[in-house]
């Protein structure tokens, strides 16, 4: 069975956690497409060459979840040649047998416009910045909340206004705003949507 779930949204909205939970619940494969761009940005050097030569070791780097890697990912993601280099990999993953969940910023709009389910997971910039701040230690974080909020807004602006595949909800995506939701509530909403589409498939 081929069944593709596309989950898009800005940084720290919860899409990664939701995507992994959905994949686990239904036994689908999961791809964090942001990790591809994080790995390209973290490698340094020529980003196009890095995208063409990504290895399993690059995707297993321990520093891919840092804020710095996220900023680097956002910078290289605006390069059309980088996006083209990673496009085929993502589409092959999406079309695999057994179902696939992909999360990123242009999955439902560019990578998998024919996905069976499209979700757009979002939250206010303030809530997302606070989540990042708490992840970094809250009151003991090395950087103040205001600085992290500024970085979140900067990244949103860059992602939403890039010329190639900007961050936006697909016209037929269901939006899940996690600003005032627990992670369990957000996961339940996503699972319910996927389950509804699965049950509606022809026998």
pLDDT tops 90 at residue 183: yes
175 is in an annotated binding site: no
Domain with 126, as residue range(s), is 4-191
* Of 104, 128, 121, 119, the residue nearest 37 (C-alpha): 104
DSSP 38-72: HHHHHH-S-HHHHHHT--HHHHT-TTTTSHHHHHH
11 labeled binding residue:
yes
* Number of structural domains the chain divides into: 1
**Nearest of 169, 173, 160, 9 to residue 77 by alpha carbon:** 160
The tens digit of pLDDT for each residue in 10-40 reads: 989 999 999 999 999 999 999 999 899 999 9
Q: Where do we find the tokens 């509804």?
A: 196
Q: Does 107 reside within a domain?
A: yes
What is the structure's pLDDT at 203?
A: 63
Which of these, 3, 198, 26, lies nearest to 95 by C-alpha position?
3
What is the C-alpha to C-alpha distance for residues 6 and 148, in angstroms, rounded to an integer?
Answer: 27
pLDDT band of residue 56 (cuts 50, 70, 90) is: confident
Asked if the structure places residue 17 within a domain, the reply is yes
Assign 163 a pLDDT band (cuts: 50, 70, 90): confident
Residue 198 lies in a domain: no
DSSP-derived 3-state class of residue 133: helix
d(CA 99, CA 88): 17
Partners of 121 in the β-ladder: 176
CB of 28 within 8 A of CB of 5? yes
What is the per-residue pLDDT across 63-103, written as a single tens digit (0 to 9) for each?
Answer: 998 888 888 998 998 899 998 999 988 999 999 999 999 99
In a domain, 199, yes or no: no
pTM over 0.85: yes
CATH number at residue 136: 3.40.50.300
Q: Is residue 125 part of a domain?
A: yes
Q: Is residue 95 marked as binding? A: no
Q: Is 12 labeled as ligand-binding?
A: yes
pLDDT of residue 70: 86
Q: How confident is the model at residue 174 (pLDDT cuts 50, 70, 90)?
A: very high
- pLDDT tens digit sequence for 104-140: 999 999 999 999 999 999 999 999 999 999 998 999 9
Rounded CA gap, 144 and 63, in Å?
21
Ligand-binding annotation for 138, yes or no, is: no
Q: Is 15 annotated as a binding residue?
A: yes
Task: Examine residue 114 and state whether it is found in any structural domain, yes or no.
Answer: yes
The residue whose two tokens read 């040649």 is 81
C-alpha to C-alpha distance for 108 and 1, rounded to whole angstroms: 19
Known binding residue 108? Answer is no
> Looking at the DSSP assignment, which residues form a beta bridge with residue 31?
102
How far apart, in whole angstroms, are the C-alpha atoms of residue 43 and residue 101?
25
Q: What is the reported pLDDT for 66?
A: 85
């Amino acid at each position: 069975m081929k069944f593709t779930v596309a989950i898009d949204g800005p940084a720290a909205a919860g899409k990664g956690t939701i995507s992994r939970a959905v994949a686990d619940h239904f036994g689908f494969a999961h791809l964090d497409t942001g990790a591809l761009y994080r790995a390209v940005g973290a490698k340094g050097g020529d980003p196009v060459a890095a995208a063409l030569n990504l290895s399993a070791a690059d995707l297993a780097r321990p520093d891919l979840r840092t804020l710095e890697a996220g900023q680097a990912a956002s910078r290289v993601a605006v390069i059309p040649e980088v996006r083209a280099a990673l496009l085929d990999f993502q589409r092959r993953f999406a079309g695999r047998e057994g179902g696939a969940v992909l999360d990123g910023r242009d999955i439902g709009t560019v990578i998998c416009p024919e996905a069976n389910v499209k979700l757009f997971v979002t939250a206010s910039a303030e809530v997302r910045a606070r989540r990042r701040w708490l992840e970094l230690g809250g009151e003991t974080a090395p950087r103040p909340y205001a600085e992290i909020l500024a970085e979140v807004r900067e990244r949103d602006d860059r992602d939403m206004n890039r010329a190639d595949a900007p961050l936006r909800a697909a016209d037929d995506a269901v939006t899940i705003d996690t600003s005032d939701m627990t992670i369990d509530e957000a996961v339940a909403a996503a699972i319910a949507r996927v389950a509804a589409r699965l049950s509606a498939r022809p026998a």
